[in-house]
Amino acid sequence: MPELSAIKSFIRSAAMQAAWILGTLAILFGVAQLSERTGAAKPEGVKLRVALFINGTLGDKSFFDSAARGLKNAKQTLPVMVKVIEGGTDPTRWEAALTDLADSGDFDLIVAGTFTMVPYIQRLAGEFPQARFVVFDAAVDYAACKCANVHSILFRQNEGAYLAGYLAASLDRAGFAGLKPSSGLGVVGGMQFPVIDDFIVGFRAGALAATPGVTVLSQYANSFSDPAAGKEIAKAQYGRGVALIFHAAGATGQGVNEAALEAGRYAIAVDMDQYAMYQATKPALASRIVTSVLKNVDVAVLRAIQQQLEGRLAFGRTESLGLAEHGVSLARNSMVLSQAPPALLKSLDEVETAIVEKRVMVPSAFTPKAVASAARGAP
């Protein structure tokens, strides 16, 4: 039957054309998806898309807020598009969230910080070789992972803490207003791991350099997000007579500031200039903050973004930022410092210069001997 044969031939031809059309559409869709994921199209004027993944939340008035400020500064001064992703305080969600971020292809540079992110970055760097990562305040193990697409930033926080310890012990020896001279010092750390121990080792060394034999109590709060715990530890140390407590504990340190105000004692803060932060809104609280050991995460993040734009960010390598590189510093504006003897401040400047010129070598918790000393004096 010729009619039936013609009908079958027409159906076969139509089916082949439909299959060809569907196949072409699938290819075009795939190309469009690939273009989107590889960043073929960026908003006008944008040369780099940067994401900051925070394994926590903003509002700590310390470490994470400083990193976010670096991204804000980049957005204001560079041709970049930025986004901050708050991973929350549940560690079980961090890996999945970071994986989704890397898999999306929506960003040219993914920035994350703290040692807890290192295992995830080491895995993702191999799984997504086209992605580019920056890890700050930690370093991947380049010998153990395929991390040629990762740039690591470490800080020599022990150098800034040394200056804080030298200043604290000098002020303590002279006697704070209303307190007897040589009352002693304290430290509250967030958790015990090398970066926090590095603060403590540096602070203790600086204090002993200024006043040999000075008492330095120390204790860990086991949290970076528990101001109540920080306050209780600080109250106990102030109760033992110490005049000043240095806190390297993120948001937990806000409880130390509160305890200092209530006890009529003093505190040294960390990461951001907390005297300046509270000077206008809470002047009484600000008056109890002598200074802050500034870990300039914002400067480091902005610096890395600038280098990536210029095509000179060193992936596959770790850099270390200290006083000489302005990666760490000591805030110099506060009510207490404005009343400090000029000779004391001159001596502090001389110590800083000696560290920068490597005439004073500050001990570090990243050496075995110093680690053991970090917890000494804990109540």
Taking residue 25's Cβ as centre, other Cβ atoms within 10 Å add up to 10
Q: Is 23 within a domain? A: no
Q: What is the pLDDT of residues 299-350, one digit of tens each?
A: 999 999 999 999 999 999 999 999 999 999 999 999 999 999 999 999 999 9
Q: What is the pLDDT of residues 345-363, one digit of tens each?
A: 999 999 999 999 999 999 9
Q: What residues contact 23, with CB distance under 8 A and at least 6 apart?
A: none
Predicted pLDDT at 33: 39
Predicted pLDDT at 69: 94
Confidence of residue 79 (pLDDT cuts 50, 70, 90): very high
Measured in whole angstroms, the distance separating CA 104 from the mean position of its chain's CA atoms is 24
d(CA 224, CA 230): 9
Maximum Cα–Cα distance for the chain, whole Å?
116
Predicted pLDDT at 336: 96
49 near 81, Cβ under 8 Å?
yes
Q: Which domain holds residue 257?
A: 157-295+341-374
Predicted pLDDT at 369: 52
Predicted pLDDT at 368: 55
CA proximity to 246, closest of 322, 344, 330, 360: 330
Shared domain for 275 and 218, answered yes or no, is yes
Q: What residues contact 102, with CB distance under 8 A and at least 6 apart?
A: 110, 124, 127, 128, 131
pTM: 0.80
Task: Check pLDDT > 60 for residue 16.
Answer: no
CA proximity to 67, closest of 302, 379, 324, 333: 302
pLDDT greater at residue 12 or residue 214: 214
CA proximity to 144, closest of 118, 180, 170, 108: 118
Q: Which two tokens stand for residue 70?
A: 């670096």
Shared domain for 123 and 261, answered yes or no, is no
Taking residue 192's Cβ as centre, other Cβ atoms within 10 Å add up to 17
81-95: average pLDDT = 95
Q: What is the pLDDT of residues 203-255, one digit of tens each?
A: 999 999 999 999 999 999 999 999 999 999 999 999 999 999 999 999 999 99
Shared domain for 250 and 274, answered yes or no, is yes
Containing 63, the helix (H) or strand (E) segment is helix 63-77
286-294: average pLDDT = 97
Task: Check pLDDT > 60 for residue 13.
Answer: no
DSSP track, 258-282: HHHHHHT-EEEEESS-HHHHHTTT-
Q: Between β-strands 289-295 and 328-330, what pairing exists: parallel, antiparallel or unpaired?
A: antiparallel
Shared domain for 254 and 367, answered yes or no, is yes
Predicted pLDDT at 40: 44
d(CA 27, CA 32): 9
Shared domain for 71 and 174, answered yes or no, is no
Shared domain for 63 and 126, answered yes or no, is yes
Q: Which two tokens stand for residue 127?
A: 């799984």
Shared domain for 347 and 213, answered yes or no, is yes
184-195: average pLDDT = 96
d(CA 269, CA 293): 6
Predicted pLDDT at 9: 54
Predicted pLDDT at 5: 52
Q: Is 235 within a domain? A: yes
Shared domain for 168 and 144, answered yes or no, is no
Domain count of the chain?
Answer: 2
Q: What is the pLDDT of residues 27-73, one digit of tens each?
A: 343 433 333 443 445 788 899 999 999 999 998 877 899 999 999 99
Helix, strand, coil fractions of the chain, as percent rounded to 5:
50, 15, 35
Predicted pLDDT at 61: 78
pLDDT greater at residue 103 or residue 366: 103
At which of 139, 155, 171 does a domain end? 155
For residue 372, count CB atoms less than 10 angstroms from its CB and return exposed for 0-12, middle for 13-18, buried for 19 or more: exposed
Predicted pLDDT at 35: 34
275-294: average pLDDT = 97
Q: What is the pLDDT of residues 112-143, one digit of tens each?
A: 998 999 999 999 999 999 999 999 999 999 99
Could you tell me the strand order of the sheet in which 328-330 lies?
216-220, 185-189, 244-248, 266-270, 289-295, 328-330
Q: Is 321 within a domain? A: no
Q: What is the DSSP letter of 358?
A: T
The position carrying tokens 């290819």 is 27
Confidence of residue 178 (pLDDT cuts 50, 70, 90): confident
